[in-house]
Amino acid sequence: MSWPRAALLLVSSSSRTGPAEGLISLGRELRARGVDARFAADTVRPGENLGEHLAHAGVPWEAELRLSRKVRILHDARLLAAWGEAGRYEVLHAAFAHDHHLCLWAASRSHRPELRVVRAAQRAVDVTPGALGQRRWALRRSDGVLVHTETYRARLLAQGFDPARVAAVAAGVDAHWFTPGRSPRLRALWGVPEEAPLAGIVARMKPERGHDALIEAFARMRAQLPDTYLVLVGRGEHEPALRKAVARLAPDRIRFAGYLRGPGLVEAYRALDVGVWLREGNDGACRGVLEAMACGVPVVAGNEGAPSELVRNGQDGRVIDPTDPGGIASALGELLGDLTTARRMGASARARAEEFTPGRAAEATLTFWRRLRDLPRIS
């Protein structure tokens, strides 16, 4: 029987988006390859039809685990330790620090030589030492660390991590679902003329995601291209502040589209001439970049993290400094002012996205796990 026989993918979130979506995709692909991959998430806070999403993907949910930072962890710690000692799983693959510490504790109480703990370090902060070096200590206690960019892997190696125990695996995208097209229905709903140049960002509205810089950049750019539009797709705690900024800078040209998923999300990408992704969120894999690219949309991407490695500057879009509204405005103006160039880059982006299949991501992850099996266990 091939190894691993069974793997548990953990994420202490009740959301179906972010890292959870990537883990569900990984679970589906692993199960197609004969691995009994199962999913564990926060069962305390209400989720967004997470169970339905898992059922559709064919990935079982270990609902006995609570994985919530809002309740005592003793229940989860004991359960994971029992499963580890019984050999129920050979790989514990954790997405967040909460899950990771539970897995490390459970593995420390298991005598199973085949058990491996892997941390998927999602964001830039996850590969920093942390206060008093605590984050680095936890990563060193793992059998392996998986990151989504070569840049983050290099940062860990610079801290002395064993190269054999750190792998960079980019996200995957379902290019059969995210496909090029147009979306006159959404444009009409947003009040955007069908032929008007339209840029858009699809991201949670949080201060650190770069919406403020984008709004400022768009307002600057409109001095040269007054007939352009910008749409903000998503929701979040920063929305009231963003609405105030829009009212001050460009109230007639910036639209708030709300939260979209499923077919609506595909339509949103198709409605755009240019996509914008300035900074990573909880999901450092930044799958939204690949989703837009798969829909044939060129991307103006920040030069930090995964976007700068997914988008080839000048081929699939533009890579810019996400803190520089002037640079963002210049990139937007270049593409929105020349839709022929934008569409050429969009076709290149589509071809690029087709390389990043979910199967490719799963195979790379599985290869990494098996490499760890051949190394001495750390936990």
pLDDT tier, 1 (very low <50, low <70, confident <90, very high otherwise):
low
User: In the β-sheet with 317-320, what is the strand arrangement from edge to edge?
Assistant: 254-258, 229-233, 198-202, 274-277, 299-302, 317-320
Categorize the per-residue pLDDT at 122 as very low, low, confident or very high, splitting at 50, 70 and 90.
confident
Q: CA-CA distance, 279 to 238, in Å (whole number)?
A: 15
- Per residue in 147-174, pLDDT (tens digit) is 999 999 999 999 999 999 999 999 999 9
**Region 314-341 average pLDDT:** 97
Give the predicted TM-score (pTM) of the model: 0.94
Q: Is the pLDDT of residue 189 over 80?
A: yes
Give the pLDDT confidence score for residue 93 in this predicted structure. Answer: 98
Within 120-174, residue ranges assigned H as helices are 134-140, 150-158
Give per-residue pLDDT as tens, 349-379. Answer: 999 999 999 999 999 999 999 999 999 999 6
DSSP letter, residue 91: E
- Confidence check: pLDDT of 44 > 90: no
How much is the mean pLDDT over the chain? 94
pLDDT band at 47 (very low <50, low <70, confident <90, very high): low
What count of Cα atoms within 13 Å lies in the side-chain half-sphere of residue 290?
26
pLDDT at 238 over 90: yes
Helices 97-108, 74-86: axis angle to 10 degrees equals 50
Mean pLDDT of 94-107: 94
Rounded Cα–Cα distance for residues 29 and 192 (Å): 39
pLDDT of residue 235: 94
Band of pLDDT at residue 128, cut at 50, 70 and 90: very high
